[in-house]
Copies of this chain bind each other. A is one copy, B any other.
Amino acid sequence: MIKIAVLGCGRIGRMHAENIHHHPRATLSGVYDINRGASKEVADELGVAEYEKAEDVFQSEDVDAVLIASSTPTHADFIERAVKARKPVLCEKPIDLSLDRARVCADAIRGTDVPIMIGFARRFDKGHAAVRNAIESGEIGEVHQVVITSRDPDIAPDSYLRESGGIFRDMSIHDFDLARYIMGEEFETVSAAGARFVSPRLMEECGDYDTVTATMTTGSGRQCVILNSRRAVYGYDQRVEAFGSAGMAVSENRTEHNARIYASNYTGKAAPLLNFFIERYSQAFISEISAFVDSVAYGTRPPVGLEDGVEAILLAEAAMLSVREGRLVHKGELG
């Protein structure tokens, strides 16, 4: 059993704590949150230790590995401290809102053999992974075009959005990573469009966008389109399509159940889409823990590394630059 401590007891930290607690090959050694109320609640509920300080986690001999789900500005620092303490890390995205800080972090730990994994959980979704498998197995031939649709069921609170770093760094970042995973080749250009339809005033105020489309191309000319919106009234819209020389693979949306209604003025009406990410990606979050546990147990390289986290931030920054300047951006421009 791998003993994992969780840093951060917000919604997602709590979910990870529970998943670790129930995992057949992991145990939750304890939790930490700068807000002691939050950590106490989780610790009590799951019957595990509550750490007073983050440093206690890194120093504890009872901790084999750490999961970082604290606020974004703490991520890079915690990663560096975990590596120094030789604790394998599973860190929630993004590494940092700043590409520079993410790169400093990458430099700081370069060469370490401590497993570091970034929490791009969607790679572990069985549907999305089946699309990737259809490419790897050769079933759909060489991939030419990828379309990722990712729309939230509703816009987050203003306070969250103000701190989010913008839609590309906060939301699309999952899709940038997924795009690289599905495509299997690095992107070189990004051309993005942004609009303010859901919360125009706040978006204007923050210089942010709530409705964006990003088109990326690889060196060999493969094309990927990402469509994002902060609000899809029909639920959490999560689809991936890969078109290739020998076929197409599509990961469709999931509903809570598969009942359909037929009546005098419609047919096949189903329930709204699963809402929200904790429900939609519940299987993915559990599989993500399993992949991390494997990596810790066998000392192998995690399937999503720090470099993947840096690359996703880079694409997010390129997309933001593209929208702001109304032009196609070459990734190379960002150094």
Interface residues of A (CB under 8 A from B): 22, 125-128, 130-131, 134, 139-142, 144-145, 147, 149, 151, 189, 191, 193-198, 211-213, 215, 217, 220-223, 225, 227, 229, 231-235, 237, 243, 245-273, 326-328
Instruction: Given the known inter-chain contacts A223-B195, A234-B264, A265-B272, please indicate yes or no for A211 contacting B144, CB distance below 8 A.
Output: yes
Considering the complex, give the chain B residue whose CB is closest to the CB of A248. B262
Q: B258 and A267: CB pair below 8 A? A: no
User: Once bound together, how far apart are the Cα atoms of A134 and B261, in whole Å?
Assistant: 8
User: Once bound together, how far apart are the Cα atoms of A56 and B220, in whole Å?
Assistant: 53
Q: 5 additional contacts, CB 8 Å, given A125-B257, A191-B328, A233-B245?
A: A195-B220, A233-B264, A247-B263, A254-B257, A262-B273
Q: B268 and A189: CB pair below 8 A? A: no
11 contacts between A and B (CB under 8 A): A147-B227, A151-B243, A191-B215, A191-B328, A195-B217, A213-B215, A234-B248, A248-B261, A249-B259, A264-B272, A327-B328
Point out the residues of chain B lying under 8 angstroms from A249, CB to CB.
259-262
Q: B251 and A263: CB pair below 8 A? A: no
Q: B259 and A250: CB pair below 8 A? A: yes
Instruction: Given the known inter-chain contacts A245-B233, A265-B272, please indicate yes or no for A194 contacting B221, CB distance below 8 A.
Output: yes
Query: How many Å from the CB of A305 to the closest CB on chain B?
Result: 25
User: Once bound together, how far apart are the Cα atoms of A223 and B251, in whole Å?
Assistant: 23
Among A234, A237, A249, A271, chain B packs the most CB atoms within 10 A around the CB of A234
User: Once bound together, how far apart are the Cα atoms of A326 and B328, in whole Å?
Assistant: 7
Point out the residues of chain B lying under 8 angstroms from A247, CB to CB.
233-234, 261-264
Point out the residues of chain B lying under 8 angstroms from A191, CB to CB.
191, 193, 215, 328
Q: B126 and A261: CB pair below 8 A? A: no
Point out the residues of chain B lying under 8 angstroms from A327, CB to CB.
327-328
Query: How many Å from the CB of A59 to the closest CB on chain B?
Result: 28
Query: How many Å from the CB of A77 to the closest CB on chain B?
Result: 34
Instruction: Given the known inter-chain contacts A139-B263, A193-B221, A234-B248, please indicate yes or no for A130 contacting B257, CB distance below 8 A.
Output: yes
Query: How many Å from the CB of A185 to the closest CB on chain B?
Result: 12
Q: A251 and B258: CB pair below 8 A? A: yes
User: Once bound together, how far apart are the Cα atoms of A170 and B121, in whole Å?
Assistant: 41
Instruction: Given the known inter-chain contacts A145-B227, A272-B266, A327-B327, please indicate yes or no for A197 contacting B253, CB distance below 8 A.
Output: no
Q: B245 and A197: CB pair below 8 A? A: yes
Instruction: Given the known inter-chain contacts A215-B215, A246-B233, A264-B234, please indicate yes or no for A126 contacting B195, CB distance below 8 A.
Output: no
User: Once bound together, how far apart are the Cα atoms of A255 and B131, in whole Å?
Assistant: 15
Considering the complex, give the chain B residue whose CB is closest to the CB of A222. B195
Q: B215 and A221: CB pair below 8 A? A: no
Q: B261 and A139: CB pair below 8 A? A: yes
User: Once bound together, how far apart are the Cα atoms of A1 and B196, in whole Å?
Assistant: 48
Point out the residues of chain B lying under 8 angstroms from A237, CB to CB.
248
Point out the residues of chain B lying under 8 angstroms from A215, CB to CB.
191, 193, 213, 215, 225
Q: A229 and B260: CB pair below 8 A? A: no
Point out the residues of chain B lying under 8 angstroms from A266, CB to CB.
234, 269-272
